[in-house]
Amino acid sequence: MHNVNYWRNGPCVAVGPSAAGFDGRRRYKNVADVAGYVRMIDERGHAEVDVEIVEGETLALEMILMQLRLIEGLSIADFHHRTGVDPRALFDGALERLTGDGLVTVSERRIALTHRGRLVGDWVMGELAADCDWARAVPRRRPEGVVPLLG
């Protein structure tokens, strides 16, 4: 079950030296040394030594790469909720090719590997990652108070 939770980008608590955790936004790792772990818990209440914020393009790629390992595939609604982007727009070129090749199915709710696609899943995921164009897919927002110049 641990792997399924990981593949769904679910939260996981890090307990103990060298343990790694993820809270849905932050990935963190505890100090490896047992004495250091105990000392840090006593002094700071946690033993985190490495922290990474997982968002934007990194989160999008992790979600597609992990959730396609599941038979159910990637939830389009969950992806959009967590990243702000429709995965069909983000990976549109590769999805069109891979669907045409019979390796991926795309519905209103999910993107999933076909049986044939699962046989070459790592390659399929590599194609999706290579096609990811975060800058094109993410709508640009004008900062508040900025008015465009009329020319």
Of the chain, the percentage scoring pLDDT greater than 70 comes to: 87
| Verdict on whether the full-model pTM lies above 0.75 | yes
Same domain, 20 and 68: no
pLDDT surpassing 80 at residue 88: yes
In a domain, 110, yes or no: yes
Higher pLDDT, 148 or 38: 38
Query: With bands split at pLDDT 50, 70 and 90, how would you rate the model's confidence at 151?
Result: very low
Q: For residue 125, what pLDDT is reported? A: 93
Same domain, 67 and 107: yes
The domain in which residue 19 lies consists of: 2-53
Instruction: Single out the residue of 57, 63, 35, 59 nearest to residue 47, CA to CA.
Output: 35
Q: For residue 92, what pLDDT is reported? A: 87
Higher pLDDT, 120 or 133: 120
**pLDDT tens digits, one per residue of 17-55:** 999 999 988 999 999 999 999 999 999 999 999 999 998
Same domain, 91 and 115: yes
- Considering its fold, how many domains does the chain have in total? 2
Plot region of 48 (φ>0 → left; ψ -120 to 50 → alpha; else → beta): beta
For residue 111, CA distances in Å to 11, 70, 73 come to 22, 10, 6
Same domain, 43 and 111: no
In a domain, 19, yes or no: yes
In a domain, 145, yes or no: no
In a domain, 102, yes or no: yes
CATH of the domain at 101: 1.10.10.920
Query: With bands split at pLDDT 50, 70 and 90, how would you rate the model's confidence at 111?
Result: very high
